[in-house]
Amino acid sequence: MLISFCLVGSESSMRAKSLISKKKFSIRRELRKMIKCVCSKEKLSVDELNYSSESLATRDYSATASGYSSRPGENDTKLDNSNIEEAESSLRESGYLNYEEARALLGRLEYQKGNIEAALHVFEGIDIAAVIPKMKMSISRKCESNNKRSPQRDSVPSMSIHAVSLLLEAFFLKAKSLQTLGRFQEAAQSCKTILDTVESALPEGWPENFVSDCKLQEIVTNSVELLPELWNLAGSPQDVILSFRKALLYHWNLDTESTARIQKEFALFLLYSGYEADSPSLRSQLNGSFVPRNNIEEAVLLLLILLRNSKDRSIIHHLSFALSVCGEFMTLAQQVEELLPETMERRERYYTLALCYCGKGEHIVALDLLRNLLKNRENSVYSDCIEELLLASKICADNKVCIEDGIKFSSKAISQMHGKCNQIEAIANCLLGVLLSAKSKSVTSESEKVLIQSQAFSALKASEKLMKENDPYIVLNLCLEYAEHRKLRIAYDHAKKLIKLEGGSSISGYILLARILSAQKKFVDAEIVIDAALDQSGKWDQGELLRTKAKIQIAQGRLKNAIETYTFFLAILQVHNKNLGTANKVMKCKRNRDRRLEVEVWHDLANVYTALSRWHDAEICLAKSQAIDPYSASRLHSTGLLNEARGLHQEALKSYKKALDIEPNHVASLISTACVLRKLGGQSSSLIVRSLLTDALKLDTTNSSAWYNLGLLYKADLGTSALEAAECFETAVFLEESSPIEPFR
């Protein structure tokens, strides 16, 4: 009995499997017939395919399929298993495969075979306007069904979810085909259709448990990532930004990797596209949330999010660029310090931090960081640390600190080059020359000074020979060195070369050329150079140029013109400060520079009024300066000149001494103090005057006033020979004939 029951059960099971197999074979057979019909211009009768009125049997595909089959007899090979299974799913759910779905399948086949134009022709036959409402309804109903977990009264949607996937994929492949053919605008519109359809059907966002398979989710994810790229290729930056923002703000249920890719691409577009984005719409701004005001802020926000969630090492490099552009060096330093050890190597971390502190102006801190890094690598003799050595030596050279250490760093860098890169070796030699030149100024022995100056020139000339392309930094330092040694003709040639290299983009080259011309006593030519620079520069960058022009006018004896130039500069500065408002850190640094320049201009103007005996106007200028900087040695020196011009020598002496209390190495105050003491006379004044003038010449050997007053002291002193006084006068005359309106450096 038990055996017969098992046999009966077994026979029933076998019959059921047989029926399922026949049904599956029937579906595959009919599907092949339909696709053959599309590809071979044939029609299937309604009796043969008992489907709905929307089925393939009711349509003529001769126009669609014409010319898109590979060769006769190859129609059967067009269908792979994945396409058949896709069609089977749609047939099981809806009971029929309509015209649009068949086109979607055929278009996919042609796309997979590489027949892009044929695939596009098939896709364009899909009636988008007709299918989109059905797709929206199907997606919406599917979402409601999942949420309520109970069947709707109308349990059969207008389109199966597999059909929706099939058609959305057709739209996506159509976009890819148009992209391949270079029709980017149309491709973007096709891709946008996918996202608009889904967003309209699911205004609250994509549910996480919307579908059991991942096909539909994959299509949507790919479309979200593709749309910004297509708008970019189409040359529509505003649409690129809108599509990126929608990708990140709307809940598409993207995976972590896709979200990270979109965030990174958006940040890079904001940083490097050159297009200034509008602020996000009010609808996307939450109460109390941070709203980016420009591209940089939005990119920084995205990169900071990525830095927390991604292990991509390039993120910190892009963040470094973004924060450096807006002057947030300490913010960058904080982010670098918080990075995990595996994210950034110790050497790169120290080097980046040193750059951050350099940008902030904390040069000693940056130098200490580099010392720590180089000290830990001493066993390998600073092996492979050329960049760090050059940065350390540049800090020493630019700030005139730790000169001996700087010479050691640059020498080590040169010894490690071994012909690796001539341009870097040229920079290293240039830094060595600058450091040696700075060292020569502090050496007391004349023979040693001459030797070090010779070494400095040799290093600078070596850097000039090594550079394959003219480097502005090397040309500038060579020009300064020649100018300080009064080789003005060679310095003039280098200054012209510097302006040509910079393409007129920097005012420093023009100012240096004007100073060299003033040293040659070509004041008219110097003023022409400054006027040319003023024509090419913006209003807010003309401060140094206007001050130089005023000094040229003073050298020509045109004091009233100089007053007008100074007044014009102060008016521009006042308007600029009012317009500046709340500025970023880069603008704040510029404002600090402008304030320092304003103080110096008030001092210059006070000196001009003193020369014109307009005491009251000079006092007003000094009061303005004091309001900005109450502890200025230069202001106290100008006050001393005013008192001295009035005949108040004791008051002048007090002002000079106060200036030296604030800045002991203030050369002008040292010389002025010596001059007043020499005029006042006294038993011990001669020794003090000599000491003051000697100290001034140690600090500035090219100061003609110091040499002249030293000559007067020697002439009045009976204990010295007339030859010493004559040598001082001769030196003073030589320096005066070649002295610029301002120091070259």
Fold of 89-141+159-254: 1.25.40
The neighbour count for residue 31, using CB atoms within 10 Å, is 21
- Which pLDDT band, with edges at 50, 70 and 90, does 494 fall under? very high
2 vs 449 pLDDT, higher one: 449
Question: Residue 441 phi/psi, 5° resolution?
Answer: -75, -20
Q: Residues 67-83: what's their mean pLDDT? A: 40
Copy the structure tokens of residue 725. 């006084």
DSSP-assigned letter for residue 98: B
* Distance in angstroms (rounded) separating the CA atoms of residues 609 and 615: 7
Residue in 455, 456, 453, 490 with CA at minimum distance from that of residue 475: 490
* Distance in angstroms (rounded) separating the CA atoms of residues 175 and 647: 88
* Distance in angstroms (rounded) separating the CA atoms of residues 60 and 43: 7
Is-contact 316 339, C-beta < 8 A?
Answer: yes
Q: What is the pLDDT of residue 719?
A: 67
DSSP letters along 325-337, please? HTT-HHHHHHHHH
Q: What is the pLDDT of residue 416?
A: 84
385 vs 84 pLDDT, higher one: 385
DSSP-H helix ranges across 155-294: 161-180, 184-201, 215-233, 237-249, 256-272
Copy the structure tokens of residue 532. 């040319």
* Cα separation of the two ends of the chain: 115
Question: Residue 542 phi/psi, 5° resolution?
Answer: -100, 5
DSSP-H helix ranges across 520-648: 523-536, 543-555, 559-580, 585-611, 615-628, 633-645
Most confident of 280-294, 377-391, 504-518, 676-690: 504-518
| E strand or H helix that includes residue 701 | none
The region that residue 95 occupies, defined by phi over 0 for left and psi between -120 and 50 for alpha, beta otherwise, is left
Q: What is the pLDDT of residue 121?
A: 92
Q: Residues 518-523: what's their mean pLDDT? A: 93
pLDDT in tens, 703-722: 899 999 999 888 887 667 78
- The mean pLDDT value of the chain amounts to 80
* Distance in angstroms (rounded) separating the CA atoms of residues 6 and 10: 6
Residue 18 has pLDDT above 50, yes or no: no
Is-contact 380 367, C-beta < 8 A?
Answer: no
Helix and strand numbers, DSSP H then E, in the chain: 34, 0
pLDDT in tens, 499-519: 988 887 788 899 999 999 999
Q: At 71, which amino acid appears?
A: R
* Distance in angstroms (rounded) separating the CA atoms of residues 179 and 186: 8
pLDDT in tens, 227-242: 999 999 999 999 999 9
DSSP-assigned letter for residue 218: H
Copy the structure tokens of residue 468. 């394959």
Q: What is the pLDDT of residue 555?
A: 92
Is-contact 114 181, C-beta < 8 A?
Answer: no
Instruction: Provide the residue ranges of all domains of the chain, joining segments of one domain with +.
Output: 89-141+159-254
The region that residue 236 occupies, defined by phi over 0 for left and psi between -120 and 50 for alpha, beta otherwise, is beta
CA distances from 714 to 91, 310, 667, 708, 723 (A): 115, 75, 20, 10, 9
Q: Residues 634-656: what's their mean pLDDT? A: 93
Q: What is the pLDDT of residue 66?
A: 34
E strand residue ranges, 58-148: none
* Distance in angstroms (rounded) separating the CA atoms of residues 385 and 383: 6
CA distances from 386 to 81, 336, 344 (A): 60, 21, 19
Question: Residue 695 phi/psi, 5° resolution?
Answer: -65, -40
Is-contact 263 305, C-beta < 8 A?
Answer: yes
55: which strand partners? Answer: 98
* Distance in angstroms (rounded) separating the CA atoms of residues 331 and 336: 9
Q: At 290, which amino acid appears?
A: F
Q: What is the pLDDT of residue 293?
A: 81
DSSP letters along 616-651, please? HHHHHHHHHHHHH-SS-HHHHHHHHHHHHHTT-HHH
* Distance in angstroms (rounded) separating the CA atoms of residues 729 and 498: 35
What is the maximum alpha-carbon separation in the chain?
A: 149
